[in-house]
Amino acid sequence: MKKIKPLAFYLPQYHPVPENDEWWGKGFTEWTNVAKAKPLFEGHDQPIYPADLGYYDLRLPEVREQQAQMAKDYGVHGFIYYHYWFGNSKQLLERIAKDVLETGKPDFPFCFCWANETWSGIWHGLSEKILAEQVYPDEKDLIAHFEYLLPFFKDDRYIKVDNKPVFIIYDPNHLHEGDPYYISKFRELAKKNGFDDLYIMASNKLRDDLLDYKSLGYNGKISNAFQKAWGPYIEAKEYISHYKYYKNRIKGLIGIKRKKQQQVRMQNAELVVNDLKFEEQNIPTFPCILPNWDNTPRSGYRGIILDNNSPALFEKQIEKAVEYLEDKKYPEPFLIIKSWNEWAEGNILEPDRKNGFAYLETLKKTLHKHDINE
């Protein structure tokens, strides 16, 4: 088997932009939600604090260099930058990718995931006002979109399968309903510009068996197995830890009435990871693993928490992904990690003050054990 290549989703939101200033207040970034987070119940581990990199500003090239070096040191092959093209040449948060392209730094592989979805206020747990609508207006805009991407595709750092730039579509259903020929037209443009083709992957947003991704023009699918395993537990009753259960019982026995308060959905990560199973569809299906999750900084009581996360459970996910990939003859054995730095969703590989480098060390140690990431 070829050397496994872990790719981590990367959020480029950590710098002010005029739109966020207008919608959420001057200087808003993802850190605003992270820093203002509060515990929603006794024992809730919020706020979480960044460790070595601090509350960074991604406009600083030194920060981007530090991130890339850190990722490289611990076995991450490359970043998947979220890319926001809403149609009619409207973009958001494109500054970081632009700087990476123009400066040639950091010298670290990357590709794009086109986050083709409408932004509403609920994106940050607030009002449901439409902020930026995702549309697919016409072929002129499609060509403009490809021409914007072309210099990135041509960059030596851009991740390719053979001579095919990797391009991930966040919501295949939305794209197909908006323009069913978008992918085939993109492929034509790629071939006209010197590539053998594009290697187009569907993200993990939709179920692996929801659509016939192959017939829609996809080369690969990022596995939805984690969400599939998690689904039944999200639907079930709230998970209550042993500590909380016995504390409530003791309070009841001594006559202390529990205060009624809003509940946040909380599930036991161990149960989810135990049920995690990667399954191949009719196209290469790449395993996707999730180190942690708590999106209450964005969504408050509407958020969901994976409780009892640990590096040990992350190791178990990596082991399952490695075992799944061992007998697959994929052109590249990608292992997708969600995510490098989605701090307001409590979904991070970057070091935080509580765990330090534990998750990164687990990734490096586990891959090294299998001698597949030397």
Residue-wise pLDDT tens for the chain (374 aa)?
Answer: 688 999 999 999 999 999 999 999 999 999 999 999 999 988 899 999 999 999 999 999 999 999 999 999 999 999 999 999 999 999 999 999 999 999 999 999 999 999 999 998 754 545 568 899 999 999 999 999 999 999 999 999 999 999 999 999 999 999 999 999 999 999 999 999 999 999 999 999 999 999 999 999 999 999 999 999 998 887 654 555 555 655 665 666 666 655 556 788 889 999 999 999 999 999 999 999 999 999 999 999 889 999 999 999 999 999 999 999 999 999 999 999 999 999 999 999 999 999 999 999 999 999 998 875 44
Give residue 188's pLDDT. Answer: 98
* Partners of residue 83 on adjacent β-strands: 114
Q: What is the DSSP string of 321-369?
A: HHHHHTT---SS-EEEES-SEEGGGTEE-S-BTTTBTHHHHHHHHHHHH
- Beta-carbon neighbour count of residue 117 at 10 Å? 17
- CA gap 172, 183 in Å, rounded: 10
Give residue 248's pLDDT. Answer: 64
CB distance 340 to 9 below 8 Å: yes
Torsion of CA 231, 128, 339, 149, to 10 degrees: 120
Q: Residue 21 CA to chain centroid, in angstroms?
A: 24
Give residue 129's pLDDT. Answer: 80
Look at residues 250, 243, 344 and name the one whose alpha carbon lies nearest to residue 294.
344
Give residue 246's pLDDT. Answer: 55
Give residue 241's pLDDT. Answer: 57
List the Cα angle 216/222/224 in 5-degree steps: 100
| Residue that is written with structure tokens 């072929």 in the block | 139
Give residue 371's pLDDT. Answer: 72
Sign of the CA dihedral 60, 62, 68, 73?
A: negative
How far the first Cα of the chain sits from its last, in Å, is 13
Domains located in the chain, CATH noted: 5-236+264-373 (3.20.20.80)
Give residue 2's pLDDT. Answer: 80
- Alpha helix locations (H) across the chain? 18-24, 30-36, 61-73, 95-103, 139-154, 172-178, 182-192, 225-235, 242-253, 269-275, 296-299, 311-325, 358-369
Give residue 120's pLDDT. Answer: 84
